[in-house]
Amino acid sequence: KVEIAHTNCQIITINSTSIVCRTGPLPSSSTKSLVEVYVDQIGNAINEEHFFEYIDLWSSKYTWGGMELPGEGDVVVISENQAVYFDTHTPILKGVLIIGGALIFDDMQDVHLQCEYIIIM
């Protein structure tokens, strides 16, 4: 049994050195969580050095409540306990307001965030 943020993670494959599992929906907020593994008749395994974090993709409509991605002139708010992975190009937004959350840029591809202002609180 594998739990991340006290939520079941469905095991896809397992062997003596690795476990691949599929997480469920984000339980409440995007905070770093311990990964807990329970092996029948052996016990719990908890690694306190590595964490799992739910992260929203900027390019996913689900990050925006199932609506369209932010468009020209829009203001984007990234709230406390929300982490957004920026993986795309934007039109010129009015602004990005980060209130205790995190905006993480993909450093493996060419991405462009265009906006008139960015405020980090």
In tens, the pLDDT along 6-60 reads 788 888 988 888 888 888 776 666 667 778 888 777 778 777 777 888 889 999 9
The count of other CB atoms within 10 Å of the CB of residue 79 is 13
Minimal CA–CA distance to 7: which of 21, 27, 22? 27
Q: Are 114 and 86 in contact (CB under 8 A)?
A: no
In tens, the pLDDT along 69-121 reads 999 999 999 998 889 999 999 999 999 999 999 999 988 899 999 999 999 99
Helix runs in the chain, H state only: none
Question: What is the Cα–Cα distance from 116 to 94, expressed in whole angstroms?
Answer: 5
Residues forming a β-bridge with 22? 10
pTM beyond 0.75:
no
